[in-house]
Structure 1
Amino acid sequence: RSIQSGINFSSGGDSVTVAAGTYVENVSLNKTIVLMSSEGAESTIIDANNFGTVLTVNPHSTQSYYGYPDIHADATVDGFTIQNGYTSGSSTASGGIIIGVSNTVIKNCIIKNNNSHQGGGVYAEGGTFYNCEILNNTAEFEGGGIFMTYRGFSGFEQTIIQNCLIANNNCGSGAGLFGPFNIVNSNIVNNTGNYGFASAGTSSIKNSIFYGNDGDEIGSFTATVTYSLIEDGYPGTGNIDADPLFADTANGDYRLSDYSPAIGAGTATGAPTTDIDGTPRPNPAGSSPDMGAYESMWASRLPIAGDVRDGLSGELSWSNSTTTIGANWDMFTDNGPVSYEVGVGTQSDSMDNVGNWAIVGTDTFAVITGLNLQDGVTYFVSVRGTDSDNQPSDTTTSDGFTVDTVLPQVLTIMEGSNATDQDYHSSTTSLPIGWTGSDDASGINFYEVTLGTAAGDSNTVDWISQEDSTSATLANLSLVEGSTYYASVRLTDIAGNISAVLSGDGVLIDFTDPVTGTIIDGTTEDLIFTGSSNTLTATWTGFSDPASGISHYEYAIGTSSESSDIAGWTSVALDTTVTRSGLSLGNGNTYYISVQAS
Structure 2
Amino acid sequence: MKKFNFIFICLFFTAGVSQAATIRVPEDQATIQEAVNVSFSGDTIIVAAGTYSEKVTVTNRTGLVLQGAGAGLSVIDGGINPNLDDTTGAVITVNDDSSITINGFSLVGTQYYGVKCWWRTNVTVKNCKIGTRNGGVTPPAYTIRQGLKCYDNSTLVILNNEINAGDYGINYGPNCTANVMENSIYVNRTGIVFCGLDAGSVLNNAIAGTGVTYGVGIEIISSSPLVQNNVIYNFPSSGISTNGTSANAKIRNNVVSNIGYNGIMLLDRSRPEIANNIITNSRYGIRISYDLYNSENFSYGYNNLYNNSVSNYTSCTSTTGAISADPLFVNAAGHDYRLQPGSPCIDAGNPDAQYNDTDGSRNDMGAYGGCDVKTSTTSDVTPPGVPSTPVTTSVLYYQAAISWGASADNVAVQGYKVYLNDVFTYASSTNSCTLTALLPSTNYVASVRAYDASGNESDNSGDVSFRTHSLVEIDTTAPTTPSYLNMSIGSIGGYVDVILGWGNSTDDFGLAGYHLYWCSQAAGQASPSCDVLWSDDASYSTIATEQTTYTCYVTAYDEAGNESGATETKTVTTPADTTPPAPPSTVTFEILSDTEVKLDWSGATDNYSVEGYKVYRDAHAIAALDSYPRSYTDIGLTPAVTYMYTITSIDPAALESAQSQSVAVNTRPYYVPPPPPPDTTPPAPPQGLTIR
Q: TM-score, normalised by structure 2?
A: 0.32
Max radius of gyration: which structure? 1
Q: TM-score, normalised by structure 1?
A: 0.37
